[in-house]
Structure 1
Amino acid sequence: MYTQCPECLSVFSLDARTLAQAHGYVMCGHCSAGFDSLATLTEQLPPEPFRELPPNEPAFEPPHLDLVVYRPRSTEPEPTTTPTPEPEDFAGLSFAPRFAQPREAGPRRWPWIAVCVLLTLLLAAQLGWACRDTLIANPATGNLLRQTCSVLHCRLPLVRDVHKLQLLARDVQTHPSVPGALLISATVRNNAAFAQPWPTVAITLLDVNGKRLAMRRLRPYEYLGDRAEQQQGLAPGATTALVFEVDDPGQRAVTFSLDFE
């Protein structure tokens, strides 16, 4: 087969493979012009000399091909007639709702829940320890805490409230065995519903005009010899007698006062 470049009128020989590569569009090897080789495609050249190959007029309808030289066999299976199934009776079937179907297991949340619960308990414990005096002094929570500690064999910390200490009786006399000293005794009752630590006792000696002559603060370890008794504190509702030894300021001291701190 032959075709002609419309620019330089060069005639070229080509085959079906060359036409198929670019669908008929080729480049002239002489002037490098691109053109449609199908426009002047012909099987035979006219007698020489000639100038231009006659153009191929486009057909109004595509050519109809009748001569079949080869047809490959089809690889698809031939359709078979399938009998129409008879309608089935679904009256005896039961359908489970969508929410009854098993769901996919989601991420495990119990570790986070356990951590949150533990942190909440720790926070509650810290708040309870910070407000322990108020909780122990409260009749409702104090009784509950004491009952819990009696079961767990633990000890509550002692709460100090000197306003609940009542001085029932007091007395002063010359020390029978130590010269130049006074022996002061006092009877004290703990009116609180909880055990209190032993108080610091402030003893003030006064003259006839109420002027302070001497003053001394006695801590629990100074007037209590038993260390175990110091740690246990003054039990709720308990009454006890305290004895103090102080220096005698002389004949000017006619009275004294006791204060709890």
Structure 2
Amino acid sequence: MFSLDAHTLAQAHGYVMCGHCSAGFDSLATLTEQLPPEPFQELPANEPAFTPPQLDLAVYRPHQDEPEPSLAEPLAELDEFAQLVVTPRFARSREPGPRHWPWVLTCLVLTLLLAAQLGWACRDVLIANPVTGHWLRSTCTVLDCRLPLVRDASKLQLLARDVQTHPTVPDALLISATVRNDADFAQPWPVVGITLYDLNGKAIAMRRLGPSEYLGDPAAQRRGLGPDATTALVFEVDDPGKRAVTFSLDFE
């Protein structure tokens, strides 16, 4: 009696050998999960669980007086047979000729055009990236070109703000703000949202001002707000009355 596991059974489909006398036997025929009752009795011999494969094709070695076949003869016959086979046109190898260069040049031009299109589609990401943006700005400095402006309102830092009655326009307020661009790249002037609140924090007036409404210089609008640049913005808005006690500024 032996103790064994499923891995041992699977190795030879249940056919195992005794570790004491090296006799082989089929363990599946007498497999049990519990010990048999005593006294133990020797079980009858059984056949293996599988039948060994039978070999029908015999290979005879030639006698010493017969010359052994040479490998060159079948190889020569194989070469003659290969010469009779017609190779398809698409499988024939051709030496590259001078007529291939237009195709190579066309593929190269198309690849460059595709790369340019992808770069233009992802220009904002490339310019905003510290590595690629620095490389692009350096290249434009050498080539005397200008990169398109990339908008990132999260990089605009409000340093100071103030509101007062307009000195020359009646029923109007004059709001000023100091803004710094913390980005490494120039970005367009933001759309500024101004909201006025009453004493309870309820919004009573709101207005969105585009760059053309608070900047009088078209050239400054085209240049945008440079990297690490600080500027003062002034806004003229209607005075909603004494109910307005505080305000907020948002950049878009």
TM-score by length of 1: 0.59
Counterpart residue type for residue 131 of structure 1: C
Is 1:110 aligned to 2:117, yes or no?
A: no
Match of 1:170 in 2: 161
**1:45-56 equivalent positions in 2, closer than 5 A:** none
Match of 2:149 in 1: 158
**1:73-112 equivalent positions in 2, closer than 5 A:** 106-112=97-103
Give 1:107 deviation, angstroms: 4.7
Is 1:122 aligned to 2:129, yes or no?
A: no
- CA distance in 1 between counterparts of 2:230 and 2:159 reads 9
Is 1:251 aligned to 2:242, yes or no?
A: yes
Counterpart residue type for residue 151 of structure 1: V
Deviations 1:136-172 (A, max 9, x none): 0001100111111111111111000000000000000
Give 1:105 deviation, angstroms: 7.9
User: For 2:248, what is the secondary structure of its paired residue?
Assistant: strand
5+ residue gaps, structure 1, are 1-103
- CA distance in 2 between counterparts of 1:222 and 1:250 reads 23
Count residues with an aligned counterpart: 159
Deviations 1:87-111 (A, max 9, x none): xxxxxxxxxxxxxxxxx88352111
**1:1-261 equivalent positions in 2, closer than 5 A:** 106-261=97-252
Counterpart residue type for residue 257 of structure 1: S
Deviations 1:35-79 (A, max 9, x none): xxxxxxxxxxxxxxxxxxxxxxxxxxxxxxxxxxxxxxxxxxxxx
Runs of 4+ in 1 over 6 A off after TM superposition: none
- CA distance in 1 between counterparts of 2:232 and 2:107 reads 52
Residues 167 and 174 of structure 1: CA distance in aligned 2, closer, same or farther (over 3 Å): same
- CA distance in 2 between counterparts of 1:105 and 1:192 reads 52
Residues 256 and 105 of structure 1: CA distance in aligned 2, closer, same or farther (over 3 Å): closer
User: For 1:111, what is the secondary structure of its paired residue?
Assistant: helix
More helix by share: 2
User: For 2:159, what is the secondary structure of its paired residue?
Assistant: strand
State, as a whole percentage, how many aligned pairs show the same letter: 78
User: For 1:114, what is the secondary structure of its paired residue?
Assistant: helix
Counterpart residue type for residue 183 of structure 1: L
- CA distance in 1 between counterparts of 2:96 and 2:157 reads 68
- CA distance in 2 between counterparts of 1:152 and 1:227 reads 25
Counterpart residue type for residue 166 of structure 1: Q
Match of 1:12 in 2: none
5+ residue gaps, structure 2, are 1-94
Residues 170 and 117 of structure 1: CA distance in aligned 2, closer, same or farther (over 3 Å): same
Query: What is the root-mean-square deviation in Å for CA atoms of aligned residues?
Result: 1.4
- CA distance in 2 between counterparts of 1:251 and 1:259 reads 22
Residues 254 and 120 of structure 1: CA distance in aligned 2, closer, same or farther (over 3 Å): same
